[in-house]
Amino acid sequence: MARLLAQAALALVWLTRLPVGRLLPASPPTLAQAAWAFPLVGLAVGFIGAAVLGLAALAGLPGMVAALLAVGAMILATGALHEDGLADCADGSGGATRERRLEIMRDSRIGSYGVLALVLVTGLRVAAIAALVAQPWLAAAAVAGLAAASRAGMALGLGLMPPARHDGLGHAAGRPTRGAMLAALALGAAALMLPALGLPHPAAGWLVLAAAVAAAQLWLARRALRALGGQTGDVLGAMQQAGETAGLVALAALA
């Protein structure tokens, strides 16, 4: 149990800005060992967003404002880690060669592709959540469940895709075991039941949500393999953003 708690704490330290570093043991596990807990981190981040969404609704704020506050709270909780990855991947897509793409992605400056990707994806997340606010339980479940499910894809990407660099997070993290990936997948699938239970046909709704999240992440993973030769920390962050956004849009269409 202590080992699992240490792994969960490490995942929180890497993927959020929550003050949990003191929970780590003197000899912490590797990030690959903690990959199974990525969906649990997403659930924690999602609960923060859901709580803010609920408080905003109780205060009588318009749905769009409540949704924007919820997304903003999740961005603060993670330090915009995954949004940064999304922007870097979008900017890198403008490079002519693999080496140039990786070089652009490492540049701390943001370009027009990155700005447009952030505006589009964040706008879709906010608009989709706002469309669900009339059903408070469904909206809160969507925020929490999809934040968790989308991070399961990160664990799978880390384990199944080779690192694109010989340094950086994607390489240093290591490769999760098959057991860790299956655990992350199971947790992510279970988290999807939260919003699916609020739909008229939960089983069919779960399948649609799972397909939307998986399709978006597989599409991005395939592009990364072709353009970069594998994954980086930025690619994993972009996969999380793509999966969460696709799931929210699909849920807004189903609700």
pLDDT tens sequence across 55-66: 999 999 999 999
Q: Is residue 110 part of a domain?
A: yes
Q: Is residue 25 part of a domain?
A: no
Per-residue pLDDT of the chain (255 residues; tens, 9 = 90+): 778 888 898 999 999 999 887 778 777 888 889 999 999 999 999 999 999 999 999 999 999 999 999 999 999 999 999 999 999 999 999 898 999 999 999 988 999 999 999 999 999 999 999 999 999 999 999 999 999 999 999 999 999 999 998 877 666 778 999 999 999 999 999 999 999 999 999 999 999 999 999 999 999 999 999 999 999 999 999 999 999 999 999 999 998
Distances (CA, A) of 214 to 19, 134, 167, 206: 31, 27, 27, 12
**What's the rounded Cα separation, in Å, for the pair 178 and 161?**
13
Q: Is residue 190 part of a domain?
A: yes
Contacts of 19 (CB under 8 A, 6+ apart): none
Q: Is residue 242 part of a domain?
A: yes
How high is the pLDDT of residue 28? 80
Distances (CA, A) of 107 to 22, 34, 198, 229: 31, 28, 42, 19
Q: Is residue 103 part of a domain?
A: yes
Q: Is 39 exposed, middle or buried (0-12, 13-18, 19+ CB in 10 A)?
A: buried
**What's the rounded Cα separation, in Å, for the pair 38 and 117?**
24
Q: Is residue 145 part of a domain?
A: yes
Q: Is residue 122 part of a domain?
A: yes
Domain that holds residue 133: 36-254
Domains of the chain: total: 1
How high is the pLDDT of residue 149? 97
- Cα 196–198–202 angle (5° rounding)? 45
Q: Report how far Cα 92 is from the mean position of its chain's Cα atoms.
A: 19
- Answer for the pair 52, 69: CB distance below 8 angstroms, yes or no: yes
Q: Is residue 248 part of a domain?
A: yes
Q: Report how far Cα 61 is from the mean position of its chain's Cα atoms.
A: 26
- Answer for the pair 244, 147: CB distance below 8 angstroms, yes or no: yes
